[in-house]
Amino acid sequence: MFISREYDYALRILRALAKNKKLTVKEICVAEQVPQPYSYKILKKLEKATFVKGYRGSLGGYKLTVQPQAVNLYDIYTAIEGELYINECLQEGYRCPLNDDGKHCTIHKELAKMQNKFIEELSQRSLADMLRE
């Protein structure tokens, strides 16, 4: 599994907002080269996760509601994508067609280790870390 474009754009949107008090969607899109149709969907998810707040009207826009050092990249990931699984066999309740006895194969075990390390890496890095040049 790859980091999705939507997650990439979410990080870019948050980066733009972290540098400014409030930005319009157009300003965000120009600053971070995010296509406008994507940005509305992503901003809605970020707002639901309380990372940003939207303001309506002629003076509207979006504003970051969290301190960049207080939010980690895994929290942002789950707000955009849901739970992280590098392979479908790691999802809870998944029944592997290659495994009749209910035990996990060595590939599953290794993928689980990799997934856990990746989640740990994302959890240890804050949005502030992404803002450093």
Query: For position 71, which CATH number holds?
Result: 1.10.10.10
pLDDT above 70 covers what percent of the chain? 90
What is the DSSP code (8-state) at residue 18?
H
pLDDT at 125: 95
Query: Per-residue pLDDT tens for 66-86?
Result: 999 999 999 999 999 988 887
Structural domain count, the chain = 1
Assess whether pLDDT exceeds 80 at residue 101.
Answer: no
User: Averaged over 45-65, what is the pLDDT?
Assistant: 95
Task: Return the pLDDT at 2.
Answer: 65
Q: How confident is the model at residue 100 (pLDDT cuts 50, 70, 90)?
A: low
How many CB atoms are located within 10 Å of the residue 99 CB?
12
Q: Return the beta strands (E) in 9-117 as ranges.
A: 52-55, 61-64
Residues 25, 39 contacting (CB under 8 angstroms): yes
Q: Residue 34: which domain range?
A: 5-131
pLDDT of residue 104: 66
The reported pTM is 0.85
Task: Find the helix or strand (DSSP H, E) in which 104 lies.
Answer: none
User: For position 133, what pLDDT does the model report?
Assistant: 58
